[in-house]
Structure 1
């Protein structure tokens, strides 16, 4: 098969590895991270120019199927891919890892947007660990709290007036997250519901420290088939790979 994988996640890299070299896999990356982790196989970096242009690309490249394995918050890309695949008559499946669920001892406050998260922290703490990525930080620009902002690449302004930026990439450990939160006297954590183990250690650290967590819910997925694991995506494609998780 000739496949397009919309990537940028660990699941996308694992899927490309499971399909390579038996299938012709092209992984598309948005190009928003300066030094991305690259999958095996062909890699295309940059946007397609909208749904119509992507549909034409799918037809021109004779793509047999599309796997949308982008980040759960890549709402625009997923919507564009769903529209383009329908226009081109190409099957598409959304590979989306399950979200996080609160457990015993967790103090979570679920909100529907970054703007709502900025409002929520006002009553929860004065020193905020902000782990929502470098996009959308403008929602917190007018907040009076002090923020520890962690992201992979340097963020663009506007940022909160009282803030410190730390550049890091997961996976993280519970000990490391606990130490970081203690060092900076964090009393509230803000995160998107990304799911998966790569960045989940901060949730365990917050639980152990008794720190409340503001969790931004995921946007709604497009109306397409959805699977939660690489193995399920391979099964949808009709490919057998018992080692895929």
Structure 2
């Protein structure tokens, strides 16, 4: 049996380490090369598959017998495509996603189904911290008249795609105190976040709570049908059963 692990998250990295330690034949697929030249614990495939046909060809060429999907919770197109193809081929498929964040006492969250809805709540003239990544910035095009700040890990390779916007380069993790100081320095009025879950990224939500800042929380897309786990141990148990 050869397992295909779709990665790109910290959860996937921990699963890859455990699979290697247990000696499970597996291939780790990620979109980009690891930062800092880090070596992978499993045979590594980097880049896209070239669409549905390319993915099918890869499954055949590598004789993949099961797929464990540990991609980002918002990579829903990839997840739904993978689940559909696996179902058609009779391949076991499961998804592993870290638990969602839930509001706590003192949080000022506004739940959004789509990025475009942020403009309905954020007043012109506001300073908006977009902790959503650069891939979906175009969905905030209707936030004209607001100052937009998008944090990313790598230096930008192109200008900010929207007017009144800028990139801020920073390397996580960030402590609550660091986030509070940054939001205060920038004069942030709103924090916009995708509900990706996870402990390390939660610091910005705690900072917003401490500062009394409103948060626009983009809800997760619907996950594909099938087994879904939220811990490394549960995912490994599924692999062991196979």
Q: 1:17 is matched with which residue?
A: 17
Greater percentage in helix: 2
Q: TM-score, normalised by structure 2?
A: 0.90
Q: 1:131 is matched with which residue?
A: 131
Following TM superposition, by how much is the alpha carbon of 1:31 offset from its aligned partner in structure 2, in angstroms? 2.9
Q: 1:121 is matched with which residue?
A: 122
Q: 1:60 is matched with which residue?
A: 61
The CA distance in 1 between the partners of 2:213 and 2:5, in whole Å, is 37
Q: Secondary structure at the match of 1:70?
A: coil
Question: Is the Cα–Cα contact under 8 Å of residues 135 and 155 in structure 1 kept in the other structure?
Answer: no
Following TM superposition, by how much is the alpha carbon of 1:234 offset from its aligned partner in structure 2, in angstroms? 0.6
Q: TM-score, normalised by structure 1?
A: 0.89
Following TM superposition, by how much is the alpha carbon of 1:88 offset from its aligned partner in structure 2, in angstroms? 2.6
Q: Structure 2 regions of 5+ residues with no counterpart?
A: none
Q: Secondary structure at the match of 1:94?
A: strand
Following TM superposition, by how much is the alpha carbon of 1:52 offset from its aligned partner in structure 2, in angstroms? 3.6
Question: Is the Cα–Cα contact under 8 Å of residues 130 and 149 in structure 1 kept in the other structure?
Answer: yes
Q: Secondary structure at the match of 2:110?
A: strand
**Deviation per residue, 1:37-57 (Å, 9 max, x gap):** 664111111111223432332
Change (3 A) 1:37 1:174: farther
Residue 224 of structure 1, aligned match among 226, 238, 242? 226
The CA distance in 2 between the partners of 1:37 and 1:192, in whole Å, is 27
Q: 2:103 is matched with which residue?
A: 102
Change (3 A) 1:172 1:103: same
Change (3 A) 1:35 1:219: farther
Question: Is the Cα–Cα contact under 8 Å of residues 138 and 158 in structure 1 kept in the other structure?
Answer: no
Change (3 A) 1:41 1:86: same
**Deviation per residue, 1:10-64 (Å, 9 max, x gap):** 0100000001041122111123987686641111111112234323322331222
Question: Is the Cα–Cα contact under 8 Å of residues 55 and 85 in structure 1 kept in the other structure?
Answer: no
Q: 1:8 is matched with which residue?
A: 8
The 10-residue stretch of structure 1 (172-181 or 81-90) with the greater mean CA deviation from structure 2:
81-90
The CA distance in 2 between the partners of 1:155 and 1:192, in whole Å, is 23
Q: 2:203 is matched with which residue?
A: 201
Q: Structure 1 regions of 5+ residues with no counterpart?
A: 240-245
The 10-residue stretch of structure 1 (201-210 or 149-158) with the greater mean CA deviation from structure 2:
149-158
Q: 2:148 is matched with which residue?
A: 147
Question: Is the Cα–Cα contact under 8 Å of residues 114 and 216 in structure 1 kept in the other structure?
Answer: yes
Question: Is the Cα–Cα contact under 8 Å of residues 33 and 46 in structure 2 kept in the other structure?
Answer: no
Supply the RMSD in Å over aligned alpha carbons.
2.1
The CA distance in 2 between the partners of 1:184 and 1:104, in whole Å, is 25
Is 1:82 the counterpart of 2:83? The answer is: yes
Following TM superposition, by how much is the alpha carbon of 1:109 offset from its aligned partner in structure 2, in angstroms? 0.2
The CA distance in 2 between the partners of 1:53 and 1:182, in whole Å, is 47
Following TM superposition, by how much is the alpha carbon of 1:164 offset from its aligned partner in structure 2, in angstroms? 2.6
Q: Secondary structure at the match of 1:166?
A: strand
The CA distance in 2 between the partners of 1:37 and 1:191, in whole Å, is 28
Following TM superposition, by how much is the alpha carbon of 1:147 offset from its aligned partner in structure 2, in angstroms? 1.6
The CA distance in 2 between the partners of 1:17 and 1:57, in whole Å, is 23
| Count of residue pairs the alignment pairs up | 238
